[in-house]
Amino acid sequence: MTQPSPPPSPRSEPAPSWPLTAAAILGLLGVAAGAFGAHGLREIVDAEQLEWWQTAARYEQIHAVVLLVVAWAPGPWTRARRISAQAFVVGVLIFSGTLYAMALGGPRVLGAVTPLGGLGLMAGWACIAVHAQQTRTRAKSG
């Protein structure tokens, strides 16, 4: 006779599917942007704009993989884990989006907004650290 499983922790939520979908979309668009930058933009934009584009594509690709890990990692779906996924998506959209826009001729004032995206990415990493500590503490006490 098997014992019933314990109820989920009040701090744990069921795993949502949107982070995996977002990771897939960001990964797809990041690879497409990287290819476009390598083959389509080189003749159209100057070296600085091309560097912005490449930086945007690189950060988008890296954080798509990080989001994939956040989505697929085993363990509870804590508030910190959920916020990390949200922060990575928003961070990539702002950070890479403003760099893509500037590379395509958008106003340079967007460069003042780009660091906000970077803060979003850093917040995502910080939330992963909080999640790791929360789950480690639970594992030790449970």
Label each residue of 39-105 as H, E or C. HCCCCCCCHHHHHHHHHHHHHHHHHHHHHHHHHHCCCCEEHHHHHHHHHHHHHHHHHHHHHHHHHCC
Residue 12 has pLDDT above 90, yes or no: no
Least confident window among 25-29, 73-77, 104-108, 119-123? 73-77
pLDDT, averaged across the chain? 92
What is the per-residue pLDDT for 11? Answer: 58
Predicted TM-score (pTM) above 0.75? yes
Tens-digit pLDDT profile for residues 47-97: 999 999 999 999 999 999 999 999 999 999 999 999 999 999 999 999 999
